[in-house]
Amino acid sequence: MDAKGRGHLMISRPELDVSRLSAIIVSQSNPERLPIRLDQVADLNLGAAPRQSIRRIDGLNAVALDLERTRGSHMINVAKTVNNRIEDIRDSLPEGSRLLIVMDRTEDVRELLDDLALRGGIGLILVTFVLLFMLKSVRATVIVLFSVALALAPALALFRFFDLSLNVITLAGLVLVFGLLVDNSVVIVEQLLLQQQKLMARGIQGLELQIVRTQAALKAVWLPLMGGTLSTMAVMLPLVYLSGDLRDLFLPFGVLVSLTLLISLASAVIFVPVVVRFLPPKTEKPEHRWLRRAVASPYRLVARFPKSTLIALFFVLGVPIWTLPMQINEPRRGWSSEVKGRFANVYNATLGTQTIQGAREWLDPLTGGVLRPFFRNTSFYKPWRYRERESIRVSLSFPKGNTIERSDSLIADFEQMALAEASVYRTDVRISEESASLEIEFKKGALLEPGPYILQRRLVGRAILLGGISVRVGEIIPQTGYSSGYGGGSSGARLRMYGPNYEDLDALANQFATFVKRRSRRVQSVDLNGSRNSWIATQTRQVLEFEWTGDATARTGASARWINYRLSPYFETNRAFWRADIAGDTRVPIRVILEKAPEMDIDRIIQRPLLVADSSALRLAGVAEYNITQRPAQIEREDQQYVRHLSVDFRGPYDMRRKFMEEAVEAFSVPPGYRLDYGSFYFFTDETKRAFSWVFVATIILVFLVTASVFESWRLPLVVMLSVPLAAVGVCIGFILTGTSFVEGAFIGIVLLIGIAVNDSILLTDRFRQLRVDRPYGNPSVLARLAVRERLRPMWTTTLTSCAAMLPLLVFPDNDDFWTGLAVTVTGGLIASTLLAPFSSVAMLSLFKRKMVPEKLNPSTIDTLA
């Protein structure tokens, strides 16, 4: 009893059996008639439930068990534990049983790690050779490499302390950072040897030499090293403010790079000066004056024509006037008709005239620089790539009403063909009422024999004979498979359409399908019933619709809901309508199956009488018309809006398809509240582009502020920041020459390149600052050239070591554009920055005004080169 005097009674239903269920009264509406029991109108059988799925491996029945690791656990360690446990269980299995690992996701991870280890080892060897060539000392090379190891070990330990994972992008940062870690140590070693040579020439020896040498070396390069390290770390700061999956991907990368660079600076400053004392003194070598003059001559020319040099470098990068349209004839989204009309008239009367259009035919290529071919020829999406496969997949898709026995019989023909082929290693069959699939895996080296290709031809020949279902036979090599009834196919362009009303969204999707078909004859079909999780196959559902009007309800006395309830047993033969405890089993599903319902078609069903009352029956034929329509497999809502997935079968190259779809989406007008998105299935979605644009702008600002704080000046950071657009020249040329797609790896490279490209300029500009402090009345152009002469060697040493670490990714590319894009971006950007930044720096610094010489000083003693 509760406080208000009410009681709660729990009733436990008795356990049922078939005899009790048979005695249930199902109809007693008329008291004058005998009641009707369930066993009088139906047969009750207690047996096995209908099979929902079938699994066979190598032609034998199998039971599959999927194991998922817990979030945050180590994938490879979990896989090793599972494999060891499986080996223990195999010994206790009954005779004739097998325990197999059909799929192990860690195999690809292990392969990736082995590939990275190989490339990293090759990169380490190349870096070693570069250091030996530039430093010309085995001991100095060992010192530099050991300092890198000292930086990596604590960074990885702290990485685990922060509970961060080593994902693919983090490993990319590790490969790239290896080349960067060498920079600080190389600069310190070279400066220590240089200062030691100068001090020994002055007669300083012993402990005094070590102290004075270290002080002088750190004073000369400490500020640029700290500025370069802080600028690279500043690049990582905006990554912290990314959200969602982007933050999970890039945050560990930023933490790893920042930690290793910071520890590398500490190692170069503390460890390297201690061990350099064991290096032999640098010997004087005969100087080749002709070589020095040859290297210095371009910079003399730059100092003489600084403005012309800056203009030339500006046009090498390019002016993006090619992005301007010839004329504005179509409305742009978000423009009102009045704004569009005024702007279009002004534009067409000035820049859209025939004279300007004729001039742009030669003006666009002339002023476009490297940016124009880069944006015209580089793909910013990651297209589907075909590659040779060591397996064939056969997929069958059936319409509603299909039985699992029919699915089994059809896929079994393909299975028997595969089992008869000697080169087949394993077959895996999955069967359900809606679909059936066969995965055929070949033995290692089998693709060098004709067996797999003959089997594929036989499978395709069998698939051609099937009709009324969707069939697909995968290919070993491109364009050799077979596909029937799969909407979109490999050339399907996928789109998403959003809107608040489902019926209006459906009408808008049909309008867009008609629109794109009229724009190009290459559009073969448009599938309006795609789903989020299907890329190649599109599973649609057939919907039976009756036009049940209010007049039909008045004539028959039956509502639409009542009709739906009466018809459900004809179509949902496997649905469990109730559950009960029967014969010792709990929650046994109870199904209602009408006699011969699976064999009936719709025309027969609408002729059957449906009892409305005791004396009246209803036949749907003649009362309501019906039609069968295709609908998406499910209704989706996202952010309180309905979503439709569309697939346009465009027959043409990938770039042509992408350009056509972008123009079609731009030209198609949608009502307010609705939108159409294309490209959301790629890495660079609109949301990703906005996030990356914000990161790019924030990175530029942070690097500028860091260099401004280091130099305590606003003019010198402008000289340093010129290296960023000059690095873009190398990036553009690299992607133009290699044809690589600009995707995730390229973005990682661009983010890092902003911080890396300024390092050499910081080193050069700081030396100019020091020379100007020592010679306050010197000619800025002369001081800039002297700074280049003293810093050019360490600049190229650090650049070559960083590029050598990335060289294996370029020489041994794989099918993944991630690594290639990363290597092309960093290598091209660094080389261009190191090659062009000295020219821009000399040009900019030569524009600085020279301080007036006091009358007491002799001007003739000012302009002398050391």
CATH of the domain at 115: 1.20.1640.10
What are the structure tokens assigned to 349, written together?
A: 């009367």
Residue with tokens 């002080």: 215
User: Domain for residue 604, yes or no?
Assistant: no
The residue among 413, 414, 408 whose CA lies nearest residue 394 is 414
The residue among 718, 688, 686, 690 whose CA lies nearest residue 704 is 718
Residues 126 and 202 in one domain: yes
User: Domain for residue 100, yes or no?
Assistant: no
Residues 700 and 671 in one domain: no
Residues 263 and 167 in one domain: yes
The one-letter amino acid code at 634 reads Q
Q: Counting beta carbons within 10 angstroms of the beta carbon of residue 212, is it exposed (0 to 12), middle (13 to 18) or buried (19 or more)?
A: middle
User: Domain for residue 65, yes or no?
Assistant: no
Residues 795 and 832 in one domain: yes
Phi, psi at residue 605, to the nearest 5°? -65, -40
Contact 101, 83 (CB under 8 A): yes
What are the structure tokens assigned to 331, written together?
A: 């409305």
Look at strands 470-473 and 482-484 and give their pairing: antiparallel
CA–CA dist 626, 547 (Å, integer): 6
**Tens digit of pLDDT for each residue in 293-305?**
888 888 889 889 9
Contact 387, 815 (CB under 8 A): yes
The residues, ordered by sequence, that sit 6+ positions from 585 with a Cβ below 8 Å of its Cβ are: none
CA–CA dist 509, 312 (Å, integer): 51
Residue with tokens 């069958």: 396
pLDDT at 411: 94
CA–CA dist 727, 400 (Å, integer): 58
Residues 277 and 409 in one domain: no
The residues, ordered by sequence, that sit 6+ positions from 490 with a Cβ below 8 Å of its Cβ are: 384, 536
Contact 433, 403 (CB under 8 A): yes
Residues 420 and 463 in one domain: yes
Phi, psi at residue 72, to the nearest 5°? 90, -10
User: Domain for residue 313, yes or no?
Assistant: no
CATH classification at residue 657 = 3.30.70.1440
Residues 169 and 218 in one domain: yes
Burial 496-526 (b: 16+ CB within 10 A, else e): bbbbeeeeebbebbeebbeebeeebebbeeb
**Tens digit of pLDDT for each residue in 717-775?**
899 999 999 999 999 999 998 888 887 778 778 877 888 888 888 888 888 888 888 88
Work out whether the CA dihedral 580, 586, 587, 589 comes out positive or negative: negative
Q: Counting beta carbons within 10 angstroms of the beta carbon of residue 553, is it exposed (0 to 12), middle (13 to 18) or buried (19 or more)?
A: middle
CATH classification at residue 468 = 3.30.70.1430
pTM of the model: 0.67
pLDDT at 731: 93
The count of structural domains within the chain is 3
Contact 411, 436 (CB under 8 A): yes
pLDDT at 864: 45
Taking the CA of residue 168 as centre, how many other CA atoms within 13 Å lie in the half-sphere pointing to its CB? Answer: 14
Residue 315, helix vs strand vs coil: helix
Residues 650 and 795 in one domain: no
pLDDT at 54: 92
pLDDT at 362: 86
User: Domain for residue 259, yes or no?
Assistant: yes
Total length of the chain: 866
For residue 54, how many other CB atoms are within 10 A of its CB? 17
User: Domain for residue 378, yes or no?
Assistant: no
Residues 228 and 126 in one domain: yes
What are the structure tokens assigned to 220, written together?
A: 């000369």
Residues 662 and 514 in one domain: yes
Residues 780 and 723 in one domain: yes
User: Domain for residue 70, yes or no?
Assistant: no
Concatenating the DSSP letter of every residue in 578-596 gives EEEEETTEEEEEE----TT
Cα–Cα separations (whole angstroms), residue 336 to 351, 433, 499, 663: 22, 53, 22, 20
Query: For the chain (length 866 residues), average pLDDT per consecutive 10?
Result: 55 66 70 74 78 89 84 78 85 81 78 76 86 84 85 73 63 66 82 82 80 85 83 75 63 76 84 79 64 83 90 90 77 57 78 83 87 85 57 86 86 94 92 90 88 92 86 80 57 81 90 90 82 53 79 81 80 74 76 74 80 73 79 81 86 78 86 81 59 77 86 87 91 89 79 83 88 84 89 86 83 68 88 92 85 56 46
First to last CA, the chain: 104
User: The domain containing residue 648 runs over which residues?
Assistant: 492-541+634-681
CA–CA dist 179, 232 (Å, integer): 13
Cα–Cα separations (whole angstroms), residue 654 to 379, 382, 520, 549, 747: 10, 10, 15, 49, 22
Concatenating the DSSP letter of every residue in 661-702 gives HHHHHHHS---TT-EEEESTTSSS-HHHHHHHHHHHHHHHHH
Residues 666 and 808 in one domain: no
User: Domain for residue 320, yes or no?
Assistant: no
Q: What is the 3-state secondary structure (H, E, C) of 46-111?
A: CCCCCCCCEEEECCEECCCCCCCCCCCCCHHHHHHHHHHHHHHHHCCCCCCCCCCCCCCCHHHHHH
